[in-house]
Amino acid sequence: MSEQIGRKPTLAEALAVLFFSGVFIGAGVLYWEVSVHIPIVVAATLAALVGRFVLKRPWTNIEEGMIQGIMMAMQAMLILYIIGMIIGTWIPAGVVPSMISYGLSILSPSVFLLTALIICSIVSLATGSSWSTAGTVGIAFMGIGAGLGIPAPVTAGIIISGAYVGDKMSPLSDTTNLAPAVAGTDLFQHIRAMCWTTIPTYLVVCVIATVMGFRYAGGSLDGAKISAIQAILAGEFHISLLGFVPPIIVIALCVAKCPAIPGLFSGVAAGAAMALMGGYSVGDVLGFTLDGYTAALAGEIAGAPDLGAVAKVLTDHQVVGLSPALAREVGGMLDTLLTRGGMMSMANTIALITCALSFGGIMERCGFLDVVLEAIMKMVRTVGGLVTSVIVSAVLSNLFLGDQYLSLVMPGRIFKSAFEKKGLHARMLSRTLEDAGTMTSSLVPWNTCGAYMSGALGVPTAQYIPYAFLNWLNPLMAILLTYLGIGVAWRGRGGEPVLARTRPEELTHL
């Protein structure tokens, strides 16, 4: 961070900026029911005005903070564009339709949520990426869940819970490497520390997914609806096991530690090649990568004026054995699911990220959060209070800085000395940073992660939040276990961690 210019804000000034920013953003979304973009711009303007005229910072300094904030997410923005291209090519290539069709053949509602949770967990652990997981198998699970009659927000929440297991725990994950670097510990000490909070939370989520599976299944499977989905998909796409090749390529490259951008772009290339082999022209495929795919058969069925017209569409496309009424219901659902993708589908999300990180850059450059967090530190007396303070600060960083990397770096920088003075091992700080900073990033609509998950899965962030169980239970579990003295690691002789409820007597002189 550049050397500060101008004076430091007072606590009252910092709280005032945070309060009015939060109120205006909340009112914009909840009361005026507008997109969050402009309320964030207004909040950023307020912060910039206070910085310029109250704190006496030059505009060039504030602008530099905005630009640096945006630059932190440039890779994320490029990945978002590529994910849009992946979706735009994988649908006409038959990749997503094949995964949906085969998934409907082997899964039932009673085990679907648990299966989706476990598979997304495995893929994310193998790749280290929640984004890649949601953008590949997550998209397919959304379609399968719709076919099984499970509400989209429920499916999305379970997918995100599984996807963030690897984002938090995999040694291939960028956040899993960033957190220990910020806290001052090594990668595997960090992962071992996270097991104390993540494994119990994950087991709870597995139980919830199992119970909810039975709740939504109702003990029965709508075989006619599933057959109708499979028939309409087969009438529009080439359903084949070859459809699994592009996602396997992407996952394999991620496991092989291929950089994210070329690894994901290989999925675009594979999808484009399959679409060309399926009979689409080069111009068609280029159009899909930019503007996405528009469902043909499903779109015709959804747009038919009456059941007679639906019957004619089915006859024209040689889809037999479906009642027009059922075909119309399924066609509408598939039209919504399959008309999507392309680079331009991510434009709104990228605009949101730009607005949020401009705001975050101003907040960081002017020191508003630093002042608030320093005030919190003066009131902390216990280990539980210290961990809770880190969690609260990480959540605030996700809310006001708009990026999960900042939610690890900012609290990590501020609380590192406090953990050292308390005698706690650095892995306690790194663990806590991930328990809150990584896990809650997808729960904020204007955060880069929340915006991405919403865009990739097609479900508003506010709708999937209640069902992203792992993401909001993990911080609560971390607080609970710390107050119970479970998994608390002290800095022992030689820097090795010593597990104990309270600091061992032989370490008090260190």
Task: Note the pLDDT of residue 218.
Answer: 60
| pTM of the entire predicted model | 0.80
**Of the candidate ranges 19-23, 33-37, 416-420, 434-438, the one whose mean pLDDT is the lowest:** 33-37
pLDDT level of residue 220 (50, 70, 90 thresholds): low
Structure confidence by residue, pLDDT tens digits, 101-130: 888 888 878 889 999 999 999 888 867 789
Q: Looking at this protein, which amino acid is placed at residue 340?
A: R
Structure confidence by residue, pLDDT tens digits, 396-427: 888 887 778 878 877 887 788 889 888 999 99
What's the rounded Cα separation, in Å, for the pair 128 and 115? Answer: 19
Q: Looking at this protein, which amino acid is placed at residue 374?
A: E
Task: Note the pLDDT of residue 329.
Answer: 86
**Helix (H) or strand (E) run with residue 497 in it:** strand 497-499
Structure confidence by residue, pLDDT tens digits, 296-307: 999 999 999 999
Calculate mean pLDDT across residues 144-158. 92
What's the rounded Cα separation, in Å, for the pair 391 and 404? Answer: 13
Task: Note the pLDDT of residue 4.
Answer: 52
pLDDT level of residue 280 (50, 70, 90 thresholds): very high
pLDDT level of residue 472 (50, 70, 90 thresholds): very high
Residue 260 and residue 129 in contact, taking contact as beta carbons nearer than 8 Å: yes
Work out the widest C-alpha separation in the chain, in whole angstroms.
85
pLDDT level of residue 2 (50, 70, 90 thresholds): very low
**Of the candidate ranges 6-10, 390-394, 406-410, 496-500, the one whose mean pLDDT is the lowest:** 406-410
Residue 162 and residue 129 in contact, taking contact as beta carbons nearer than 8 Å: no
Residue 271 and residue 96 in contact, taking contact as beta carbons nearer than 8 Å: no
Measured between alpha carbons, how far is residue 450 from residues 123, 130, 455 in Å? Answer: 20, 11, 9
Residue 435 and residue 480 in contact, taking contact as beta carbons nearer than 8 Å: no
What's the rounded Cα separation, in Å, for the pair 343 and 338? Answer: 15
Calculate mean pLDDT across residues 57-82. 86
pLDDT level of residue 506 (50, 70, 90 thresholds): low
Residue matched to tokens 């050292």: 420
Q: Which two tokens stand for residue 48?
A: 């910039």
Task: Note the pLDDT of residue 504.
Answer: 77
DSSP assignment, residue 459? S
Q: Looking at this protein, which amino acid is placed at residue 228?
A: A
For residue 257, count CB atoms less than 10 angstroms from its CB and return exposed for 0-12, middle for 13-18, buried for 19 or more. exposed
Task: Note the pLDDT of residue 100.
Answer: 86
Q: Is the dihedral of CA 401, 406, 407, 411 positive or negative?
A: negative
Residue matched to tokens 């975050």: 360
Extents of the domains making up the chain: 1-75+346-366
What's the rounded Cα separation, in Å, for the pair 317 and 329? Answer: 17
What's the rounded Cα separation, in Å, for the pair 456 and 406? Answer: 22
Calculate mean pLDDT across residues 4-22. 89
pLDDT of 494 above 80: no
Helices 139-147 & 109-127, crossing angle to 10 degrees? 180
CA-atom Rg of the chain in angstroms: 24
The dihedral over CA atoms of 156, 161, 162, 168, expressed in degrees to the nearest 10, equals: 140
CA 1 to chain centre: 27
Buried b (16+ CB within 10 A) or exposed e, 479-489: bebbeeeebbb
Task: Note the pLDDT of residue 510.
Answer: 46
Q: Please, what is the average pLDDT of the chain?
A: 88
Q: Looking at this protein, which amino acid is placed at residue 267?
A: G
pLDDT of 211 above 80: yes
Task: Note the pLDDT of residue 1.
Answer: 40
Helices 260-277 & 74-90, crossing angle to 10 degrees? 20
DSSP assignment, residue 491? E
Task: Note the pLDDT of residue 221.
Answer: 57
Calculate mean pLDDT across residues 317-332. 90
Task: Give the 3-state secondary structure of residue 293.
Answer: strand
Task: Note the pLDDT of residue 353.
Answer: 78
Measured between alpha carbons, how far is residue 229 from residues 116, 251, 333, 439, 490 in Å? Answer: 19, 27, 9, 34, 56
Structure confidence by residue, pLDDT tens digits, 358-373: 888 898 899 987 888 7
Task: Give the 3-state secondary structure of residue 434.
Answer: helix
Neighbours of 499 (CB within 10 A): 15
Task: Note the pLDDT of residue 508.
Answer: 56
Return phi, psi of residue 261, to 5°.
-65, -55
